[in-house]
Amino acid sequence: MTERAGQFYIGGQWVAPSSSAGDSVAVVNPATEEIITRLAMADAEDVDRAVKAAAGAFASFAAASPEERYLLLKQVCDVYKERSEELARAVSEEMGAPLAMSRQQQVTAGLGHFAAAARLARDFEFETTAGTTVILKEPIGVCALITPWNWPLNQIACKVAPALAAGCTMVLKPSELAPLSALLLAEILDQAGVPAGVFNLVNGTGPVAGAALTAHPRVDMVSFTGSTRAGVAVARAAAPTVKRVAQELGGKSPNILLDDVDFGREVSRGVYAVCNNSGQSCNAPTRMLVPNSRMDEAAAIAGAAAGKVRPGHPSDEAARMGPVVSRAQFDKIQKLIRVGVEEGARLVAGGEGRPEGLERGYYVRPTVFSHVSNHMTVAREEIFGPVLVLVGYENEDDAIEIANDTPYGLAGFVSSADPARALSVARRIRAGQVNVNGAWPDFNAPFGGYKQSGNGREWGRYGLEEFLEVKAILGGAPAPSR
């Protein structure tokens, strides 16, 4: 996709930036620290072109029937499958996911959202009646979609797919750190027959392209995934035009292991979950809560499990973990590991520096801290790396209080040998999604956060409804016969 890096996809065409002397940034392979390509950066003029293209296409696409949108999404799924290997290799190259993980998780997640949206386009009730009132759920309009680098296809698809199902038009601004898979997806949507102007793509930075998109008066909705700090800036920029803003932001998810679980299994599973995707998941279970009386036992198991996680080049089939995405991310993680040691957390595994034998690339050692108090920096801040902290609790009520003692509320995890007990605890966790006993992801389940983890929901029916307005037509339905 490097040949597309100097272009944007606007109005069904690949076009040059508004200024041939425009800015560009290097796209770096995090496994090698080598430049893959240079990416053109959009300015406000490019953003305006893309928004106008989306606005021009809105009326006709909004009028398409649900069946037409269903068939279009099915075609997107077919082309996506055909090009899945290209997508997997692009994701691995741009953000460092092991190739096997890229195929099995990154690419599969994106397809899952398109398939779920296709079913919704077919089955969702866009028109209902209540007495003599007709209630319509109509596309909200032009949507600005701003996505991160950590799960690029998942995060793009869970916005683009429901927007298409709803009948919206859109402008996507993917992360400039991981743009290659987004450029490929634009080709896929074009190949699948998405009408010109319905989907548009510009690359750029948040402060320039993202800000222009968010503030644009012809944008009706912003769907943003990223850091809480950036989310605040998005909300401020959108406020003067009173547009809808849906946000999926940071997390510091608790993983409560109740005293009746198999610690060997559940502690190890928790370590592997944190190391998946090199710890770069907003819902990663990074705070493991264990009974104080079993802290030493849990620490020993966690340390042993971390030692089995092999970091390596994404093409290495034996590697379970690739690099983190960038030098800035690597440096941030190293600093926070150092802070953890300075604040008195007990380092059980990992620590500062690269793993042995990996002298080049942004590789981080799988790291475990035990005997952590919930006020320590490593228990409060989202590290976004393969760093797990073990926090002790006295009893069930104490565990729940610690779990909820965070500014975030994106996800939570509970494990118990008694499913009813696990469910009871899950009900008391203030988070948008709680996983009980290692349940698999569900593309039909809503995903989103409480508190500073955001607002609105993605995935499934609830994700579709974010892209819809509700209209009541009074007297539009015949009165019921007597």
Catalytic residues: 248, 282
Q: What share of the chain is helix, strand, coil (3-state, %, to 5)?
A: 45, 20, 35
Q: Are the C-beta atoms of residues 138 and 468 closer than 8 Å to each other?
A: yes
- The residues that bridge with 224 in the sheet, in sequence order, are 146, 247
The position carrying tokens 């946000």 is 247
Q: Which of 318, 339, 436, 334 is nearest to 384 (CA)?
A: 334
- As a whole number of Å, the CA-based R_g of the chain is 23
DSSP structure string for 24-73 = EEEEEETTTTEEEEEEE---HHHHHHHHHHHHHHHHHHHTS-HHHHHHHH
Contact call for residues 66 and 35 (beta carbons, < 8 A): no
Q: Which of 405, 379, 369, 384 is nearest to 282 (CA)?
A: 384
Q: 61 is written with which tokens?
A: 């696409």
Question: What residues does 256 pair with on adjacent strands?
Answer: 289, 414
Q: If you write DSSP's letter for every residue of 346-371 in order, what string do you get?
A: EEEE--SSPPTT--SS-----EEEEE
**The Cα angle at residue 388 between residues 393 and 371, in degrees rounded to 5:** 40
Q: Which amino acid is at 279?
A: G
Helix axes of 295-307 and 263-275: crossing angle, nearest 10 degrees: 50
d(CA 129, CA 121): 19
Nearest one of 223, 236, 273, 212 to 50, comparing CA atoms? 212
Tell me whether strands 367-372 and 387-393 are parallel, antiparallel or unpaired: parallel
Q: What is the distance between the alpha carbons of residues 365 and 310, in angstroms, rounded to a whole number?
A: 9
Phi and psi at residue 398, in whole multiples of 5°?
-65, -40
* CA angle, residues 443, 329, 366, in degrees to nearest 5: 75
HSE value, Cβ hemisphere, 13 Å, CA-based, for 79? 16
Q: 129 by DSSP, 3-state: which?
A: strand
- Asked whether the beta carbons of 372 and 301 are under 8 A apart, the reply is no
Residue type, 45: E
